[in-house]
Structure 1
């Protein structure tokens, strides 16, 4: 949608974001029938979920375009509960799509390096007659281009929450230029209000909710006061830990579940003090950056993409370290509330990345 709004002549063809496994298996055939033949098409920009090999084989007219493959995640290191559950075909399709692409783009350096370094061991799953040196064929085509986040203007009254900003703004773009902190309107009660912790992630196993709720229950055991908002989208199989956590944390809960209104979601982020990730899988992390933009103090695993984006002071190595950090902030919530966050979210904004995307979607070159 962002590219369509900002790149002239951009046509978008999509499928709904559900039934993921079927999308990965069959989307190419569907798009081969729905994308019209058009002599003015110049560039084909596709998600790595699409089997690009199949699409360009079915549609030779599309094969002649400049083919850009964009990786939000990669299936070679995507976590599964048991290794035998990993479907070889999904990763294999991504490797094949890279081979027929002209440019392969990753949303983070972690995504790119983890993919390229895993190709060789992934291909060893083939029992015999294995292809070799595929990473050497793919690597020269690769580049990193962060996902362009459309950050909200958290100063607008539509959010209906008082924010005092500690940030500089580029008047020509209205984009924040440096780090920022969004403070609630101060009053005599504010200094005694409990720490407000937010967890804004998909309710799935790869976001590791067990570690998050375990840390909160230890805060309860130590009789520390806090509030929690557990946001994010739910799907068919919600991990059982959520229902149990809701029962045990009931008196601490301010918000629970998906907020269909973006304004309501942003309001909660502006009200919260700390945002936590416990993910076993993260190749970029829009939710964490949005929360930081709204003034939340971040706590992230010292792994995955996080060290690429967040300074060391926001990273923890073990669940015990996470729990200790939260205990300290519960005892002194002002530490989070008055902290000026050392993350320049504007680097990940469309205003900052637009020129690179325009160059990528031009006819020649990466």
Structure 2
């Protein structure tokens, strides 16, 4: 095996990426740790992989995520030092939200900086992720009392590039609500014809422009792994554009039928952790309840050992408005709920790509996201809000007029998206 894949937190989007790479690249092998106790994985996984990964003369490329302290692993396993090392950032710890700067654990961000220094290529899942990391390095290192290293951003930046996270969208047509299914049937033919002309235009444009944020590559194995990631990432762009054209074109009033009588269905499909800010989400829903506005809600997403108390409190006050509550282990069940929903909400304080939001858009949901983090890089301004009050006002309007969401044509801007 010439390509060595290592994942210290094999779950969620980390697992998705590694599985996609395994499917696309023939000559690779994966070593991983389960997605538990992230902090311990970040601290100690290098020692585990030192013993778990057998020596081999056939390895040429090492691909890993930034959870692993790559500098430690290379120091513990000198035989891996000669490999071409590709480091992938799903998130970065330099801008992780904490209530007080004293609460920030310096070691996690420091480990990521060290990993960048020993890597040959550093890949980020969005421009926001890359820029927020690189421009925060100098400030972050000021926490060192004295003898601070200098010029770290200038050393690391030339190694960096952006490859959007690759999502393989499933066929969800069998789960679609009636009005969404009619949209798909009515628009399929017109989309296919416009897609053909768009592809011709894209190919012409590609031939005349240089790739951005892309370091020069020489090694064939390194080319292969990055090209595979880019290939899958390209499918994300094409599938997402197909989704918003097929799913979000305006239907006639008659096509809505009984769907127009249903209360607005809101979905929140995120990890049950504080960095996704469930407190703000539930505060907005409480306001809708107090105003006696009709809506239903599905709260999905992964749960871990320490679940914020706000979830149990919200479950009580939401009462009969809850349609689904908790993690759905079946992907089919998960996508079915997304297909039944009207609006998908993010209240995140910490987001570098947002797989769940794009999966919901794939299923025909209207997105509402903060006007910050990665979201302005992906979604046009119409789907962004600046304050919880703005989010609340949008949802109040949609609760009163759910047909506005169900008839909406998604305004995508391909040149700014993927």
Query: TM-score normalized by structure 2?
Result: 0.79
* 3-state secondary structure, aligned to 2:123: strand
Aligned to 1:358: none
Among 238, 243, 267, the alignment partner of 2:307 is: 238
Gaps of 5+ in 1: 353-366
The structural deviation recorded for 1:341 is 1.8
Match of 2:37 among 5, 19, 28: 19
1:200 equivalenced with 2:275 (yes/no): no
Instruction: Specify the alignment match of 2:218 in structure 1.
Output: none
Q: Indicate if the aligned counterparts of 1:279 and 1:301 stay in contact, CA closer than 8 A.
A: yes
Counterpart check, 1:318 vs 2:383? no
Structure 2: distance between partners of 1:252 and 1:49: 38
RMSD (Å), alpha carbons: 2.3
Partner Cα separation in structure 2 for residue 81 and residue 255 of structure 1 = 31
Work out the CA distance in 2 between the residues paired with 1:300 and 1:21.
28
1:180 equivalenced with 2:272 (yes/no): no
Contact 1:177/1:344 (CA < 8 Å) preserved in 2? no
Q: 2:47 aligns with which of 29, 38, 41?
A: 29
Local SS of the residue matching 2:306: coil
Count of residue pairs brought into register by the alignment:
347
Q: Which residue of 1 aligns with 2:75?
A: 57
Specify the alignment match of 1:140 in structure 2: 158
Residue of structure 2 equivalent to 1:275: 344
Q: How has the CA–CA distance of structure 1 residues 187 and 277 changed in structure 2, closer, same or farther, with 3 Å as cutoff?
A: closer
Q: Of the candidates 101, 105, 110, which is equivalent to residue 128 of structure 2?
A: 110
Alpha-carbon deviation of 1:209?
0.7
The change in CA–CA distance for 1:341 and 1:188 in structure 2 (over 3 A counts) is closer
Corresponding residue of 2:115: 97
**Distance in 2 between the 1:278 and 1:177 partners?**
24
Helix, strand or coil at the partner of 2:98: coil
Displacement after TM superposition at 1:140 (Å): 0.6
One of 71, 75, 86 as aligned partner of 2:89:
71
How far apart are the structure 1 equivalents of 2:335 and 2:65? Answer: 27
Contact 1:181 1:341 in 2 (8 A): no
Cα distance in structure 1, aligned partners of 2:82 and 2:353? 31
Relative distance call for 1:258 and 1:196 in structure 2 (3 A) is same
Is the contact made by 2:240 and 2:358 (CA closer than 8 Å) also made in structure 1?
no
Does the residue aligned with 1:260 lie in a helix, a strand or coil? coil
CA offset digits 1:246-282 (Å, max 9, x no partner): 1111121111111111111100100100000000010
Q: Does 1:305 align with 2:374?
A: yes
- The change in CA–CA distance for 1:160 and 1:293 in structure 2 (over 3 A counts) is closer
* C-alpha distance after superposition, 1:134-189 (max 9, x if no partner): 0000001100011101111112x3x4765231453579x89565323548995642
Distance in 2 between residues matched to 1:223 and 1:160, nearest whole Å: 28
Aligned to 1:356: none
Q: 2:240·2:362 contact (CA, 8 Å) conserved in 1?
A: no
1:286 matches 2:351: no
Counterpart Cα distance in 2 of 1:181 and 1:270:
13
Secondary structure at 2:36 match in 1: coil
Mapped pair 1:214 → 2:232:
no
Matched, 1:48 2:117: no
Q: Describe the superposition over 1:68-115 as per-residue Cα deviations: whole angstroms up to 9, x where unpaired.
A: 000000000011233322111110000000011111110000000000
1:363 counterpart residue number: none
Runs of 4 or more above 4 Å deviation:
173-177, 183-187
Q: CA deviation at 1:340?
A: 2.2
Pick closer, same or farther for the CA change 1:99–1:176 going to 2, 3 Å.
closer
Q: Which runs of 5+ in 2 are unaligned?
A: 1-18, 197-234
- How far residue 241 of structure 1 moved from its aligned partner, in angstroms, is 1.0
